[in-house]
Amino acid sequence: DAGVTQSPTHLIKTRGQQVTLRCSPKSGHDTVSWYQQALGQGPQFIFQYYEEEERQRGNFPDRFSGHQFPNYSSELNVNALLLGDSALYLCASSRQGRNTEAFFGQGTRLTVV
């Protein structure tokens, strides 16, 4: 079992550009959540996907959007990048009804210059 995998591991983008991050959940998991972790901070919840729909959303602007595919994998899209979007983006997967046990991926380190 590969666990939760995220790609890419690192990337650098310019202000104003758009970025797509990808996540494959742990085998048997159907729910994917995305978090932003700024340097020196705890993870902040962005949104959660289940059955290909956004189910819950944190306090993030509409520039942050996502998608879940039929195989449960997910993408996070960020438009019009700002310097403040530089962070570690974490994906967590879980099973509906067993959300107490969420498994996190290694994260994607995004640097906006």
Binding segment toward another protein, per CB under 8 A, in 14-22, 65-73, 78-86, 92-100: 92-100
Among 19, 94, 110, 112, binds another protein (CB under 8 A): 94
Contact at 8 Å (CB) between 69 and 76? no
Q: Report in angstroms how near the CB of residue 82 gets to another protein at its nearest.
A: 22
Binding segment toward another protein, per CB under 8 A, in 13-21, 36-44, 63-71, 72-80: 36-44
Q: Is 33 a binder of another protein (CB under 8 A)?
A: yes
Largest Cα–Cα separation, the chain: 40
Give the pair of three-digit tokens for residue 39.
């340097």
Give the pair of three-digit tokens for residue 82.
């700002």
The count of residues interacting with another protein (CB under 8 A) is 24
- Pairing of β 10-13 and β 31-37: unpaired
Residues in the chain: 113
Among 20, 58, 60, 86, binds another protein (CB under 8 A): 58
60: exposed, middle or buried (Cβ count in 10 Å: 0-12, 13-18, 19+): middle
Which residues form the interface with another protein (CB under 8 A)?
Answer: 4, 6, 33, 40-45, 48, 56, 58, 90, 92, 94, 99-107
